[in-house]
Amino acid sequence: MTKPEILQVGPYPEWDQTPLDASFTMHRYFEAEDKAAFLAHVGPAVRGIATRGELGANAAMIAACPQLQVISVYGVGYDAVDLEACRARGIRVTNTPDVLTNDVADLGVAMMLVQSRGMIGAETWVRDGSWQAKGLYPLKRKVWGRTAGVLGLGRIGFEVAKRLQGFDMDIAYSDIAAKDYAPNWAFIADPVALAARSDFLFVTLAASAATRHIVGKSVIAALGPEGMLINISRASNIDEAALLEALETGALGSAALDVFEGEPKLNPRFLALPNVLLQPHHASGTIETRKAMGRLVRDNLTAHFAGRPLPTPVL
């Protein structure tokens, strides 16, 4: 039997690439110099797209593949996939939920701790001799016992809140409606009111057109000069221009960010700020989790072309 032809939007680790190459004919879009010419050349034979959460598949890519049946996303977020185009053509879409939830929550909580306790600066203090030359490192803010807000109490938000409980924090959350699986945490529908009562605000929403810039000027102002914003979701959930201005003026205390508009080419204004912790979109970036994500990407493609139910369908 001929192997199904798959358009591969971005690179995967070698432990995923090898089995993908064994089962499918992989067309490496990311290696092509002339992307449009490459799409025009391989598109007509492509029956599947393998992509990553932040890369997705846009309308032009989908249109260039008239035989496309399935898009398998390496990531839980599928906001970068043009779902309307997929719906219109009956193209199936899959993602990799659950397997990454705990790692993403871990990184969010780690960012809060590192940033609040000033651990990056403290490391430099030791390495550059400041400890010996200048003495004690400046005092930072405590985490335990303070107030935390979780914007979006889905799988990842729930795991973040669960971890925060271990720090005896006063926890509240916003979502479309109160969750029956969160009886111990206060439900506050309005994100501005949530931010106003929070020392730390975690953004854990699945991104969509409806959530774009949900963290805007008023949420940021409510979090205030003592507050910290932690984003482990998507950049589009935050009004980045408002965030940068608030960080520069001190209207917002600090931020810990794993995602950026236009990443990996982030706005250089972030690099000049002393009050941000910057991470390279790697909340799911552990060997264990990435292996599980890669397996799900393959399992979804294999199931589709074998005519079996998809393990983790979105559409």
Catalytic residues: 234, 263, 281
Residues 92-131 contacting ligand 8YV, CB under 6 A: 100
Task: Determine if 281 is a binding residue for ligand 8YV (CB under 6 A).
Answer: yes
Other CB atoms within 10 Å distance of the CB of residue 113? 13
Q: If binding is defined by CB under 6 A, does position 75 make contact with ligand 8YV? A: yes
Residue 54 engages ligand 8YV in binding (rule: CB under 6 A): yes
Does the protein bind ligand 8YV through residue 304 (CB under 6 A)?
A: no
Query: Considering the rule CB under 6 A, would residue 207 count as an interface residue with ligand 8YV?
Result: no
Answer yes or no whether residue 53 interacts with ligand 8YV by CB under 6 A. yes
Least distance in Å: CB of 189 to ligand 8YV?
A: 25
Could you give the CA distance from residue 228 to residue 215 in angstroms, rounded to a whole number? 13
16 binds ligand 8YV, rule: CB under 6 A: no
Q: List residues bridging with 186 in a β-sheet.
A: 172
Least separation in angstroms between CB 64 and ligand 8YV: 22
Interface pick for ligand 8YV out of 68, 76, 242, 303 (rule CB under 6 A): 76
Residues 241-260 that bind ligand 8YV (CB under 6 A): none
Q: Footprint of ligand 8YV on this chain (CB under 6 A)?
A: 52-54, 74-77, 100, 281, 284
